[in-house]
Amino acid sequence: MILTTDARLALLASIVDSSDDAIISKDLNGIITTWNKSAERLFGYTSEEVIGQPITILIPPDRLQEEPEILQRLRKGERVDHFETVRRRKDGTLLDISLTISPVRDGNGTIVGASKIARNITESKKMVAELQRSNAILEEFAYSASHDLQEPLRTVKIYSELLRRRHADHLDPDGLIVLDHLCGGAKRMETLLNDLLAYTRVTRFEKPSERIDANLAYESALQNLGGSISDSNAKVTANSLPSVRMHFAHLQQLFQNLIGNAIKYRNPETAPIVIIKASRDAAVWHFSVEDNGIGIAPEFTRIIFGLFKRLHRAEEYSGSGLGLAICQRIVEQYGGRIWVESKPHQGSTFRFTIPD
Ligand code: ADP
């Protein structure tokens, strides 16, 4: 169906009016020339009241300097995209809005004004602030809880060790089993609290401007894993790794958790083989840690990155279920992603990206 110019204009006008966003146009002197229904709802002025008025009636006094800057950019033909700012309603209340402003040209291509799309983001800003606040409270709580619980735990550990050293001879077999459970429980609790503290310590940070040598972070992780590497006869290798803009401790922790898991979740029949690789794709580094271990069923490959999520009982494999959650938190703070590709009994490849 081909529309006449008038029909096309009427259709466009009704689309503009039915938009949820306020759509406003103004000339290059900042005088309002059109005003849709959503603008009426959002700012409280009818089109009769505002057309012909300066756009500054919507701008709170402390933000008036924004308008000349916007007009200057428009005169140069530039767009302003998703500019988050505050505007004022007719009743004086303030609104958080996101503005997209584009130059409008006449038939000769001369810039004659601008169209503005204003989206109300007051609610979403409130929700983000509320989420940040409750996250901060939760982090604070997890930090204090894991920190403060270490003291009584230390007492349990010291006294159960003392009991074993001084009184084991006087305990019957049942008593010795109880003591073993006590020591095992305290050890598990210690791992859990240490990992929880490590998790809460990965809070927001600045991305460093200096690069670190990933080979050194890898070597340092290997040193910390020395015991389990020699106990399991693991063969761990890496190709030449790049220099990346990360904190050394973060990359070391990533390698340590992923290589540590590759060894821990090994196939009981074969010595672990772990291969670490890095490659660059555009502005992103891709790291992978591949193993020949027990693998993971497809339905679990996502949930294992959750807090305290484990696929095995403590008697089968030790751990807190926080290692991968820590990895995910680190990688996401750098704007990267982490995931696993795996099949049961066929090994796993954990991959993570770090934008350069
Ligand atoms: P933890 O090792 O303390 O249980 P993680 O968060 O490091 O906690 O890992 C979560 C779960 O993911 C593990 O319990 C295990 O079931 C699974 N997993 C992690 N790495 C591997 C791996 N390389 N091979 C097989 N399963 C793994």
Question: pLDDT per residue over 278-325, tens digit each?
Answer: 999 989 999 999 999 999 999 999 999 998 888 988 888 888 899 999
Percent of the chain with pLDDT over 90: 65
In this predicted structure, what is the pLDDT of residue 220? Answer: 95
Side-chain-facing half-sphere of 218: CA atoms under 13 Å: 20
Ligand 1 site, residue 258, Cβ cutoff 6 A: no
Ligand 1 site, residue 319, Cβ cutoff 6 A: yes
Ligand 1 site, residue 334, Cβ cutoff 6 A: no
Ligand 1 site, residue 55, Cβ cutoff 6 A: no
201: pLDDT confidence band, cut at 50, 70 and 90?
confident
Cα of 157 vs centre of ligand 1, distance in Å, is 26
Cα of 180 vs centre of ligand 1, distance in Å, is 25
pLDDT at 188 over 90: no
Residue nearest to atom 19 of ligand 1 (CA): 261
The encoded tokens of residue 293 equal 């271990």
pLDDT at 55 over 80: yes
The highest-confidence range among 145-149, 155-159, 205-209, 260-264, by mean pLDDT, is 260-264
Mutate to test the pocket of ligand 1, among 188, 236, 261, 309 (most ligand atoms within 8 A of CB): 261
Residue nearest to atom 16 of ligand 1 (CA): 311
The mean pLDDT of 27-38, rounded to a whole number, is: 92
Helix, strand, coil fractions of the chain, as percent rounded to 5: 50, 20, 30
> pLDDT digit string (tens) for 321-334?
999 999 999 999 99
In this predicted structure, what is the pLDDT of residue 260? Answer: 97
In this predicted structure, what is the pLDDT of residue 1? Answer: 65
**Which letter, b or e, does each residue of 127-165 get, where b requires 16 or more Cβ atoms within 10 Å of its Cβ?**
eeeeeeeeeeeeeeeebeebeebeeebeeebeebeebee
In this predicted structure, what is the pLDDT of residue 228? Answer: 94
In this predicted structure, what is the pLDDT of residue 20? Answer: 84
209: pLDDT confidence band, cut at 50, 70 and 90?
confident
**Nearest atom of ligand 1 to the alpha carbon of 305:** 6
Residue nearest to atom 7 of ligand 1 (CA): 323
In this predicted structure, what is the pLDDT of residue 18? Answer: 79
Query: Which tops the pLDDT comparison, 347 or 1?
Result: 347
pLDDT at 233 over 80: yes
Cα of 112 vs centre of ligand 1, distance in Å, is 62
To the nearest whole number, what is the mean pLDDT of the chain? 92
Under DSSP, the state recorded for 356 is: -
340: pLDDT confidence band, cut at 50, 70 and 90?
very high
The answer to whether the beta carbons of residues 320 and 191 sit under 8 Å apart is yes
Q: Residue 289's closest CA among 238, 229, 346, 219?
A: 238
Ligand 1 site, residue 328, Cβ cutoff 6 A: no
